[in-house]
Structure 1
Amino acid sequence: MKRLLITLFAICIVLPSTAVLKERDLSTTLKVLRVELRKAWDDQQVLMKRIQTNREAQHKEMVSLMERSAQVSLMLYSQKPDYTFDLTFACGEATSLYREFTRKRRPYDRIMQRLNIEVERYDNLIKMLQLLPPSLVQATNQKPAANDSLRQGPPELAKEQKRTPIQLDAESQKNRQECLDYATKLRENISKMKEETSRDDEHYKRITEQLKKLHDYAQKRYHEIQQNIFINGESSYFTTIANMPRHVKRAHQDATDKYDDKDYRGTHTEWRGPIVFGFVFFIVFYLVLSVLLANLVVRFLFRKVKRLKTENLQLRKASIIIAASVFFFILSIMIARTFMYHDFLKLATELLVEYAWLLLFVSLSLLIRLSGDQIKSGFSIYMPILIMGLVVIVFRIVFIPNYIVTLIFPPLLVIFTLWQWWAITRHNDNIPKSDIFYTWISLAVMGVSCVMSWMGYVLLSVQVLIWWLFQLTAIQAVTCFFDLLGMYRDKYLKKRLRKFRAKHKALTVALNSKIITVTWLFDFIRMVIVPVVGVYSVLYCIFLSSDVFDLSDTCFVIFFYEFLNIPDVISLSLFKIVVVVAAFFLFRYINYLCKSLIKHYKTSVAIKQNGGKLIRRNQINLMLINNVTSIIVWGIYIIAAIILLKIPKSGISIVTAGLATGIGFAMKDTINNFFYGVSLMAGRIRVGDYIECDGIQGKVESITYQSTQITTLDGAVMAILNSSLFSKNFKNLTRNHSYELVKIPIGVAYGTNIDEVRKMLVDELTPLNYKDKFGRWVVDQEKGFSVLFKDFGESSVDLYVAFWIIVSEKVQFMYKVRETIYKTLNANKVVIPFPQRDLHIMKE
């Protein structure tokens, strides 16, 4: 790459040196051009050898690219789809090589373009020199003369040329001849450079086609991997348990195929067998070495340094040794990595060092933030998620096959989740509230990952866990920085403030708050830098976690994907949202800074005018200027957000119309209905619910800021004011389980066998049950139909036919039930009595 750029630079030095500007006349122009061409010729002779050397290096690099392309192609095309870690690594190598080749190809294309331009330029220059009268062109349809044919044309042509208005004198013709000689030689050298440089053109085209095909294949595999991780998943772990022998056998076979090198005897490979086990020994050796070195250093410092002999630090000694061990381990691995040449060892140590840095950041955060009696609890509550992260990193390092992950990861995750729960119940009373919150989130993440893995989304659960490990590290770093800012404020900033107050007593009393001239940088770090880093850490941690499956490119696609893109209204992506949120903290600080500076300035002026005496609060009116400042700052923020979110004028018009509508809600009843409508929309009722108000049942069709529209069971449309729904007791008939209890009263004659009536009615009504279009039983199948004894009536034994029915099917189904009850009782000659009265007419 460097040599190719040097070649381009050398050519750029040589080629443009033949420039001539507009001189006094044509003769002078030819003189200057002769000098320029001679200088270009001399420079070209010096640089030709260097260009040749660089071109040979370029050719070697192209050959190396061809070899790497073939190697990566063989690696990718040979990967099995069941080995996700292997496949993603191969896809990552393919896409990286494609990007690298595309980047390295650009200088070559620029060189060829430049050479083509220069050949064309010199062709035109030579032709123009030959056409100057007296012309050296032999015929109008012949090519320009070369070095050996730079002579006069036929007599007829010479006779014709004498008639032209201008003629070169003898000196100009001599200069023209020298210019032609130099230009022709320069063109020949450039043509030779072009020919030699373009000899690799066919190879570049072939590599481009091969890598493009490889890149497309890798993207296709990436898409399948994403589908398997996020959408398809595998069979649930319960299915795995049911077929455990088969899965164990398959996992054993995959482990043998992956790590046993008995079939590779005599063939050296860097990715299996002794290399893998040698790496484990390598890591254990350096880990033991780091622990021993950390023990020696820490204990020596604790004995020699008096400041370290405090009780608080003595309680932290074990934790300090752990952090020092991690640091020495990182240092030793990074030094050893410089001497490595195996690709596997380089990749494995890189991943391990990344994990060690995470562990070091968490350890340092706990050491800084927690007191001596809390430090042990702090390490205990974070240990499950940290070790779980190490397990995932090991999976990635050894490229563990999918079947083995599917077999061992779900139960392993259950164990670690229980461990996390145990650590929380035992140690959460002895740690800060922020860490209690973080540990509960860790437990929730592990619980979600556990459910995912048991449902078959094992790789997704791995992705979620590693993301939370990175995110937890970022959170610990941000929290630690906040605590460090608090320590700085208590130890140093307060001293500066006390000195300032002592010097400017009247000013500080009048301000009655922070002195912005002293605290502006502290406030900027606390209000802007730390929150913005925390916001952007979300994207960065997602990016880092995606590298476990080499899905970094996919991350950028997700970050910039416009998941909400309404033309002429709004355009939203995850990256835009993060930028807008981060900008909020910046503009909040700007608003705070402007107000504080204005207050500081006006207070200082008022004190000076008052002779240095204290001033009253009402002497300075900041209300208007503060409001104007807020309007200006937040107005700029809103405009910037609108530009970023690509909200056009039509979108702004929508917002303006909404504000205008809000202003119109000035009357009391209208405002009540508006806020009641918001409350209803928040979830108290939803479109599609069946409600009952004042004895009227209906289906909710829409909820507006003023009223709720329902369609009654008889088909009528009603609009109920939102305030009416709140002032009266309304029932949501479908919010719970969509079933409503219905009781149909019937009466049978005294002396009727109730058990027989109950049996015959249940037997006849049960077949009426059916499923609606959503697959639900119209009548709750578990509860079914019941015939209940209600009361002793005047003329009959009163019964209830009770059942739970879907509200939306109630009307039609009730007709069938009543008809079936009547037919059943009538067919079985069960008397349905009715009230009778005897009238006695008495004559007087």
Structure 2
Amino acid sequence: MRTPFKQKKILFLAAFLAIVVPIFAISYGHNLAQTLRVLRNELSADYQQIDKNRDRLTEDYEKQRQKMIDVMKQCDELSLMLYSQKQGFTFDVSYALQKVTEKYNEFNQDRGPFDRIVTNLNVEMERHARLLESLRRLPPELDTIVGVPDSLLIHYDSLNPLYFSVAHLELDEEVKAMADSLSIIPFVLDQQGEADREQCIFYAGELLKMYAETKAVVVADSIHYYETFLRLKETYDYAHEYYQVLQNRIFVEGQTPWYTILQRPGRYWRQAMEDAHEKYDSASLSSLFKRGHSEQLTNTGWEYSLQVFIIVLFVIELMVIWLIVSLLLIPAFRYFKPLKEYVEKDQRRFISLLVAILITIIINSQIGGDGLLHIAAKLTNTFLWLLAAILVALFFRLKPKQLKYGVRLYLPTFCMALAVIGFRVVFMPNALMNFIFPPVLVAFFVWQLFACLRNAKKVNRIDRFLGWFSLAVTGAALGVAIAGYIFASLLILVWWYFQLATIHAIYTILKLIVQYREKRMKPRINDYRSRINFITGPGKETLMFGATWFYDLVKDVVLPVMGLLSIPFCLHLALDVFDFEDLYNNIYHHNFVQLVNDSGADTFRLSFHGILILICLFFVFRYINRALHAVWQQIRYAIFMKKNHRTIIRNNEINLSLGNSIISVLVWFTYIVVIVLTLHIPTSSLSLVAGGLSAGIGFALKDTLNNFIYGIQLMSGRLRIGDWIVCDGIRGKVTHIGYQSTEIETIDGAEMSFLNATLFAKNFSNLTRNHGYEFVKITVGVAYGTDIQRVRELLGEALQKLQDKDAFGRDIVDAKRGISITLEDMDDSAVTIAVKQQVLVAERIGYIDCAKEVIYNTLNENGIAIPFPQCDVHLIKEEE
């Protein structure tokens, strides 16, 4: 039994020593002689590897130098490519501008590689120089260090006697005299120590000179690197200015309107053919450079004939792969039982098409480089990804019989997007685009119209709407194209294709999450609802948030935010297709409203990016507000039941208004703070505005402020939703408590609002505030001579059947006080009997009606007359 304990003690002691011994070693260290020997060995090892270190530094430098040379070549190539573009080839110009912008941004991200190398070398040089100085000052101190240039060494002027003050010199003389009188010998290195120091100085000096030599070479090349940056920045500045010109030409000036072309079609057709001949049949300098690297200059002539057919080749590739996949899947659908049972015939072509699209995307992704084929493959893959997303959405949402109609409905949009991307891939000249694009767009518009007329009624409502909206977008693009804004029309069409795919994706997610709620969450929700048996009514449904929080998060936050963010996302993708990324930054991130003060600081700025972010945050804060309300309600109910030892809570028994109001104020106040910070609104300005308007607002909104204060007092507990009140002779149940007014539902079903200040001014009565019971007196008259005791017994016995319980188990008539039947008064025609009881306020109206009926039937059945005032009229007939 002791052996394990001893083993634990030994292990603990070993661990303790393993920790403490190094600490002592660090604390006490070695003596100076040992330190010099260790330093000599370390420097000797570094010196023996000086060739390796020099080779390593040289290798790093050569890599960086080669990178610099590549950057210089690319900068020169981009400059030639940019400056050689003609204005009539917008696709080529935008491609060149985008390449220059990308290279400049990439250069800025990787800027300063030589500076980093120089910084590292400076650190090493300073470290070794300080080490040499420390070695030199060891006693006996050396005057100079041989073999190392004086410019590389560090001199501590603070230790030079020439810089000492007279007081310091006198104190130094006194110390030396005192040391001589006491026969104290100053410390000096022994012979072995001096030998170790000499070797350390030699090794450190050689390393220092190696770093200095490397630094000199790197600094020389860093100058060339900086010159390259200046040339690239010059090209970038020109590209940025050209971007502005290009944007103005596309979106403001436009191209030649179609009706102008129709006036002289022959002239514009010849111009289009000339540009096409120059574009696709000649090897001009600009055409050569726009394809990629300079090594392609001698063997790219074949690409000009191929570029016209690239899109056709990719379409043929997809069709061939689709045919092969369909043939391969036929045996699987025929002999594999699960596929045969669950996949219908109309869905099989869909599955084979989706598989073919994925295979095509994988094949096209293998095309690398920076040439025409890579650009075409990249754009084609983008088109195929979106096509696959739309087809998958249709596959999940539509019935098998509706799939073919859904594809036919969107087929014009697919082909139109493919045509637009094809125009981009072949770098079609402007003149040719101006001539052929409007007629092509007319053909797609007519095709889309017939597709909607024939197939819209055979698909779901959302697809019907998207089909007709696609027709509207095509019509808008057609109008813009006819007006001469061809490239704006292209952007509209491509943006809609991207947006259509995102809409399908978002709506499909919504349908799937709804199906998930119905099939998977519904049993869990029912089980959760059955466990919430301590409350009924609307409050119970509010507590269901604990079971549906994830569904609500996706439906109320994620999907709306995705829908909002999809708009700039699709716009960015559309502009990227045409290499207009800089235009996206100008549209989306640029502050179209920006105000500054006298000192130049922002006082207000507004951009589409900021607006969209604030709208997205609205959904987030709304969800947070709802979640906190649910948590507050759950906590409040738990505390109430624990405190009062209750297992059930009556509807509206707990006042949640104040807590909910505080939560709402905090959440939305935080949202307002976020708005102020996002828009860069200075708080000092808000303070000045608030201070200047406070007096005027105080007088003008006096009644409003009073209502607000009284509203807080009502929410603090004086009034609850569901309470019955009487104000100014009007009786009703409270349905809403606001900061300005309180709404009640009267007994006749009408909705009335009272200002909060009016409730206090009229001294309203809260009938349910105390114990929930209200005094009710019902009177009935019996004839004189009736036995009052017998009436009391009959009515008391008959009214017992009305002493029932409400839905929460409370007695409708207060059992403690019971029913009291007394003689109320003796009137002219009858003796008045009063039936007195305490009745639940909420049951008062129904109870009075039932009680009167019971009283009347009881008296009538027992032969007790209920007299009523009568008037006898005697007619006196006068004698003639």
Answer yes or no: same fold by TM over 0.5: yes
- Any residues of structure 2 matched to 1:547-696 within 5 Å, and which? 547-567=576-596, 569-604=603-638, 613-653=647-687, 654=689
**2:228 is equivalent to residue 228 of structure 1:** no
Partners of 1:370 and 1:304 in 2: how far apart? Answer: 26
Partners of 1:532 and 1:380 in 2: how far apart? Answer: 30
The 1:385–1:610 alpha-carbon spacing in structure 2 relative to 1, beyond 3 Å, is farther
The 1:223–1:362 alpha-carbon spacing in structure 2 relative to 1, beyond 3 Å, is same
Question: Which residue number corresponds to residue 471 of structure 2?
Answer: 443
Partners of 1:651 and 1:145 in 2: how far apart? Answer: 57
- Any residues of structure 2 matched to 1:264-413 within 5 Å, and which? 267-269=298-300, 272-276=303-307, 279-280=310-311, 282-296=313-327, 299-304=330-335, 314=344, 316-317=346-347, 321-322=349-350, 324-338=352-366, 343-413=371-441
In structure 1, runs of 5+ residues without a counterpart are 1-19, 148-159, 669-844
CA contact (8 A) 2:536 2:651 kept: no
How large is the RMSD of aligned CA atoms in angstroms? 3.8
Q: Find the structure with the greater CA-based Rg.
A: 2
Partners of 2:561 and 2:432 in 1: how far apart? Answer: 41
Partners of 2:694 and 2:570 in 1: how far apart? Answer: 39
CA contact (8 A) 1:76 1:87 kept: yes
- Any residues of structure 2 matched to 1:727-806 within 5 Å, and which? none
Partners of 2:585 and 2:43 in 1: how far apart? Answer: 51
Offset of residue 52 of structure 1: 2.8
Partners of 1:364 and 1:629 in 2: how far apart? Answer: 42
The 1:327–1:266 alpha-carbon spacing in structure 2 relative to 1, beyond 3 Å, is same
**2:563 is equivalent to residue 534 of structure 1:** yes
Residue deviations 1:150-173, cap 9 Å, x none? xxxxxxxxxx9x989667433554
Question: Which residue number corresponds to residue 835 of structure 1?
Answer: none
Partners of 2:681 and 2:414 in 1: how far apart? Answer: 43
| Residue type at the aligned position of 1:364 | V
The 1:105–1:125 alpha-carbon spacing in structure 2 relative to 1, beyond 3 Å, is same
The 1:52–1:41 alpha-carbon spacing in structure 2 relative to 1, beyond 3 Å, is same
Q: Which moved more, 1:499-508 or 1:72-81?
A: 499-508
Give the secondary structure class of the aligned counterpart of 1:619: coil
Question: Which residue number corresponds to residue 417 of structure 1?
Answer: 445
Give the secondary structure class of the aligned counterpart of 1:563: strand
Offset of residue 495 of structure 1: 1.9
CA contact (8 A) 1:136 1:145 kept: no
The 1:42–1:135 alpha-carbon spacing in structure 2 relative to 1, beyond 3 Å, is same
Offset of residue 78 of structure 1: 1.7
Partners of 1:198 and 1:667 in 2: how far apart? Answer: 74
**2:90 is equivalent to residue 70 of structure 1:** no
Offset of residue 111 of structure 1: 0.8
CA contact (8 A) 2:543 2:633 kept: no
Partners of 1:411 and 1:202 in 2: how far apart? Answer: 56
| Residue type at the aligned position of 1:248 | W
| Residue type at the aligned position of 2:189 | D
- 2:96 corresponds, among 90, 97, 121, to 90
Offset of residue 270 of structure 1: 6.2
Give the secondary structure class of the aligned counterpart of 2:655: coil
**2:220 is equivalent to residue 214 of structure 1:** no
Question: Which residue number corresponds to residue 267 of structure 2?
Answer: 246
CA contact (8 A) 2:361 2:384 kept: no
Give the secondary structure class of the aligned counterpart of 1:235: coil
CA contact (8 A) 1:351 1:393 kept: yes
The 1:174–1:546 alpha-carbon spacing in structure 2 relative to 1, beyond 3 Å, is same
Question: Which residue number corresponds to residue 114 of structure 1?
Answer: 120
Give the secondary structure class of the aligned counterpart of 1:617: coil
Offset of residue 339 of structure 1: 5.3
Q: How many residues align?
A: 633
CA contact (8 A) 2:139 2:189 kept: no
Partners of 2:648 and 2:249 in 1: how far apart? Answer: 72
Give the secondary structure class of the aligned counterpart of 1:364: helix
Offset of residue 473 of structure 1: 1.4
CA contact (8 A) 1:270 1:344 kept: no
Residue deviations 1:272-316, cap 9 Å, x none? 3343256356414421222213423554454346566679x6474
Partners of 2:699 and 2:446 in 1: how far apart? Answer: 57
Offset of residue 239 of structure 1: 0.9
**2:505 is equivalent to residue 477 of structure 1:** yes
The 1:604–1:515 alpha-carbon spacing in structure 2 relative to 1, beyond 3 Å, is farther
- 2:189 corresponds, among 145, 169, 193, to 169
Question: Which residue number corresponds to residue 179 of structure 1?
Answer: 200
| Residue type at the aligned position of 1:646 | H
Residue deviations 1:419-457, cap 9 Å, x none? 333333443334433334433433332222222111111
CA contact (8 A) 1:83 1:400 kept: yes
- Any residues of structure 2 matched to 1:813-824 within 5 Å, and which? none
The 1:656–1:272 alpha-carbon spacing in structure 2 relative to 1, beyond 3 Å, is farther
Offset of residue 350 of structure 1: 0.5
Residue deviations 1:381-408, cap 9 Å, x none? 3222222111110011111111111111
CA contact (8 A) 1:562 1:573 kept: yes
Partners of 1:663 and 1:389 in 2: how far apart? Answer: 61
Residue deviations 1:127-163, cap 9 Å, x none? 4544566553369xx964999xxxxxxxxxxxx9x98
Offset of residue 521 of structure 1: 1.8
The 1:382–1:119 alpha-carbon spacing in structure 2 relative to 1, beyond 3 Å, is same
What's the TM-score once normalised by structure 2's chain length? 0.65
Residue deviations 1:17-59, cap 9 Å, x none? xxx9998998887677656645654565554333333333333
Partners of 1:661 and 1:296 in 2: how far apart? Answer: 82
Offset of residue 572 of structure 1: 1.1
Question: Which residue number corresponds to residue 680 of structure 1?
Answer: none
The 1:592–1:306 alpha-carbon spacing in structure 2 relative to 1, beyond 3 Å, is farther
Question: Which residue number corresponds to residue 255 of structure 1?
Answer: 276
Question: Which residue number corresponds to residue 136 of structure 1?
Answer: 142
CA contact (8 A) 2:311 2:422 kept: no
Q: Which moved more, 1:245-254 or 1:212-221?
A: 212-221
Give the secondary structure class of the aligned counterpart of 1:76: helix
CA contact (8 A) 2:254 2:485 kept: yes
Partners of 1:358 and 1:658 in 2: how far apart? Answer: 55
CA contact (8 A) 2:129 2:152 kept: no
- Any residues of structure 2 matched to 1:822-841 within 5 Å, and which? none
The 1:62–1:565 alpha-carbon spacing in structure 2 relative to 1, beyond 3 Å, is closer
Offset of residue 608 of structure 1: 6.5
Give the secondary structure class of the aligned counterpart of 2:614: helix
Q: Which moved more, 1:426-435 or 1:636-645?
A: 426-435
Offset of residue 504 of structure 1: 4.8
CA contact (8 A) 2:346 2:400 kept: yes
| Residue type at the aligned position of 1:523 | D
Partners of 2:152 and 2:664 in 1: how far apart? Answer: 78
CA contact (8 A) 2:535 2:651 kept: no
In structure 2, runs of 5+ residues without a counterpart are 1-25, 154-168, 177-185, 289-295, 598-602, 704-880
CA contact (8 A) 1:471 1:541 kept: yes
Give the secondary structure class of the aligned counterpart of 2:681: coil
The 1:418–1:648 alpha-carbon spacing in structure 2 relative to 1, beyond 3 Å, is same
CA contact (8 A) 1:330 1:353 kept: no
| Residue type at the aligned position of 2:209 | E
Question: Which residue number corresponds to residue 195 of structure 1?
Answer: 216
Question: Which residue number corresponds to residue 692 of structure 1?
Answer: none
Quote the sequence identity (%): 31
Offset of residue 242 of structure 1: 0.9
Residue deviations 1:459-488, cap 9 Å, x none? 111112211211221111111111111111
- 1:512 corresponds, among 541, 565, 585, to 541
